[in-house]
Structure formats: C-alpha cells, structure tokens
Amino acid sequence: MSESQVIGFFAHKHCDSGRIESMDDVRRSKFEKLLTETKDDIQRIEVQIERELAQIKERLAGLQNERKAQLLIYGGYCQLLGVENDMAGEDDDDDE
C-alpha cells in the first residue's frame, strides 16, 4: 500500500500537499505518536546497521591479517623447498 493510499484510508479530504485537511485532535495525536515511534524505529535500525558494519569490518581486518601471515609462511616454505612461489603478489589485492 502506498503512502497516499494509507492516508486516503484514514481520511476523506486531502489538500494539495497530501496532508489530511479534516482530522480530529484524537486522530491527529494518534498519527503524531505513530510518526514519532516510526522515526525512533528507523533510528534504532540505523544504529544497529552501524554496529553490524563495524563488527564485519573488524572481522575482515582480522581475516586479512591472517591471510597475510599465511602468505608469508607459504613464501618461506617455497623458499626452503626451492620452488617458485605461485602465490607471490597475492597480498597486493588487499586494498580492494
């Protein structure tokens, strides 16, 4: 249901701006409360998104560090065995 359908559902007359022209105080108060609650919900969700993103970024940084360490170890083993390091340069794509 679109916003205009929702507004139309609750009122009979609309002005050009989409506002409801005839609304009693009780109904207006109810919608103002719902508006505030919805805004609070949106802000709560945005905060949670930021927390989740921070955790993901932290985990990615940890994995990238682990990968770098493993690549160094792999390169050392290649050098000990006298074989070409087929993964040389793999740590260059961490900036992506």
Q: Residue 8's CB: how many other CB atoms inside 10 A? A: 14
Q: Using a CB cutoff of 8 Å and minimum separation of 24, what contacts does 35-43 make?
A: none
Position 7 confidence tier, pLDDT thresholds 50, 70, 90: low
Structural domain spans, the chain:
24-95
- Contact call for residues 9 and 23 (beta carbons, < 8 A): no
Q: Are 23 and 8 in contact (CB under 8 A)?
A: no
Question: What mean pLDDT is predicted for residues 11-18?
Answer: 52
Whether pLDDT at 68 is above 70: yes
Q: What is the pLDDT of residue 3?
A: 63
The model's pTM is 0.58
Q: Is the pLDDT of residue 58 over 90?
A: yes
